[in-house]
Structure formats: C-alpha cells, structure tokens
C-alpha cells in the first residue's frame, strides 16, 4: 500500500523513449558473460504501473543515501563514485549495451556491492521512485542532439525536470556536464525556468572546472583533447 506522499507519478502518457543506437561493436565473449551475469544480479526491476520502488531496498545492505546517474556512458564516473562512497547506493541507467558491459566490468573488478543498473529509459524509474528518495543525480555528457528538430529528444526538458524534482530531496544536487555550448545554454535555460532548482555557481570558476569529488570520464578526456572546453553545472533542489 502507498501513502499520498509515496504515490508514484500519474503519467499515463509517459512512454519509453530511447533514441539512437543501443548497440555498438560486437561484445567479446568475456564482455558478454559479464553483461549477462551482471544484469542477472544487479538489474533494477521496474515496478508495475501504479506501484512504487523504494531504491534503498535494491541494495544488499543499508545505505545512507541513494544517487542516480542518467546515461553513464562507459561507467568510469559511476564506478569511481561507488568506490569512493561505499555507504551510498548508486543506480545507473544506460540503454547502450556496450556502456552497460563496461560499467559491469568495473563493478566486477572493484567488487562493488553498492551499484544497481537499469538498461532502459531513466524516466521510467524516476516516475516510480518515492518522493525525496534521491540525494544526488548526474547527467554527464549526454547526447546533445544538435539539430533543432531533435531538441525534443534532449533529456533536460520541463517534464523530465518535474520527475527529477519530485525524486530529489530538498537540498539534493543535480550535476550536469557537457562540452557542447548549445547544450549548456539549453540546460541553463530549461533549469532556470523550473522553480524547483537553483544554479549553485557564484562565478565562472564554479562551472569551468570539476570539483574534487567529481571523477573524470573517458569522453571528457576526448573532448578536452579535441580542444573543447566542458562546463560543469551544479544545481540544488530547493
């Protein structure tokens, strides 16, 4: 039974949205084994419509907080955060098979027991979480969908921010990174329109460099090597 505070979002029009490729190069046998065994152990079961999923119940031991990374790419950031914060449970959503296999390899090699994964649209999980159940969320170097006709595919939209705001605790942090100026401007505009979030930057230095507790990613290194300067945006849930 759910209480009014726990009730899931009523979103009859919420449909699975996964754009672009879901697979890249063919996985080697070892990668495929890691993927199959890892998903069998760590996959998040999406609840039936109308039910909620307490994220703390997903982990084998009690966790102090739950964090959520949306589109974790190769998983370097998520694995580093999980290793640095063993008392935090971290969920990662990534529909791209090769990225999922990469993260699960990190999880196996580092013997991390505080990671759970969703190989699907992150919004479906956000809609099923209890209110104020997440302490931090990450969206790092998402697909910028640069063509105007594809802007509706960008993750940062008012409807998605509604879902995220509901799931984040007051004072929780939402971190976004991108090396594409158009996406940075889009994110600042969209989040600026939403009453639940405030940008934490007080000056240029606050968004031009990662904070010490923000591990780098492989994509970030490639962007910098190519001469692109990422921006690191931090927003607080009011």
Question: Could you tell me the residue ranges of all domains in the chain?
Answer: 29-237
232 annotated binding-site participant: no
pLDDT on residue 10: 43
pLDDT on residue 141: 97
d(CA 113, CA 86): 8
pLDDT on residue 178: 98
d(CA 118, CA 235): 24
Q: Which residue has the tokens 């990450």?
A: 138
- 57 catalytic? Reply is no
Q: Which residue has the tokens 């063993």?
A: 86
217 annotated binding-site participant: yes
pLDDT on residue 1: 37
d(CA 68, CA 49): 21
Q: CB under 8 Å to 51, separation ≥6 — which residues?
A: 2, 8, 128
d(CA 63, CA 113): 11
Q: What is the DSSP-derived secondary structure letter of residue 3?
A: -
Burial 33-43 (b: 16+ CB within 10 A, else e): ebbeebeeebe
Residues linked to residue 168 through DSSP beta bridges, in sequence order: 134
pLDDT on residue 26: 85
83 annotated binding-site participant: no
pLDDT on residue 25: 72
**Beta strand 231-237 pairing with 115-118:** unpaired
Q: What is the DSSP-derived secondary structure letter of residue 8?
A: P
**Beta strand 134-140 pairing with 197-199:** unpaired
- Range 29-237 has CATH code 3.40.50.150: yes
Query: Do the Cβ atoms of 137 and 172 come closer than 8 Å?
Result: yes
Q: Which residue has the tokens 């890892």?
A: 38
Catalytic residue among 4, 64, 120, 143: 143
pLDDT on residue 14: 53
User: What are 2's two structure tokens?
Assistant: 């759910």
> If you count them, how many residues does the chain have?
238
Query: Do the Cβ atoms of 51 and 128 come closer than 8 Å?
Result: yes
4 annotated binding-site participant: no
* Segments of the chain with pLDDT less than 50: 1-5, 7-13, 18-21
């Amino acid at each position: 039974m759910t209480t009014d505070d726990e009730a899931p979002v009523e979103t009859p029009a919420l449909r699975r949205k996964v754009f672009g490729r879901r697979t890249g190069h063919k996985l080697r046998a070892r990668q495929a084994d890691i993927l199959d065994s890892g998903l069998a152990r760590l996959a998040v079961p999406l609840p039936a419509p109308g039910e909620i999923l307490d994220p703390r119940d997903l982990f084998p031991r009690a966790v102090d907080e739950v964090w959520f990374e949306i589109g974790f790419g190769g998983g370097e950031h998520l694995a580093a955060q999980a290793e640095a914060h063993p008392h935090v449970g971290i969920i990662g959503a990534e529909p791209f098979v090769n990225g999922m296999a990469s993260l699960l390899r990190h999880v196996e090699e580092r013997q991390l027991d505080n990671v759970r994964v969703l190989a699907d649209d992150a919004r479906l999980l956000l809609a099923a979480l209890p209110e104020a159940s997440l302490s931090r969320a990450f969206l790092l170097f998402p697909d910028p969908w640069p063509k105007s006709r594809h802007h509706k595919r960008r993750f940062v939209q008012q409807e998605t921010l509604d879902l995220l705001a509901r799931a984040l605790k007051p004072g929780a942090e939402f971190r976004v990174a991108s090396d594409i100026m158009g996406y940075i401007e889009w994110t600042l505009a969209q989040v600026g329109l939403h009453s639940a979030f405030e940008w934490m930057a007080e000056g240029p230095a606050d968004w031009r460099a990662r904070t010490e507790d923000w591990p780098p990613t492989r994509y970030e290194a490639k962007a910098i090597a190519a001469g692109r300067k990422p921006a690191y945006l931090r927003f607080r849930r009011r």
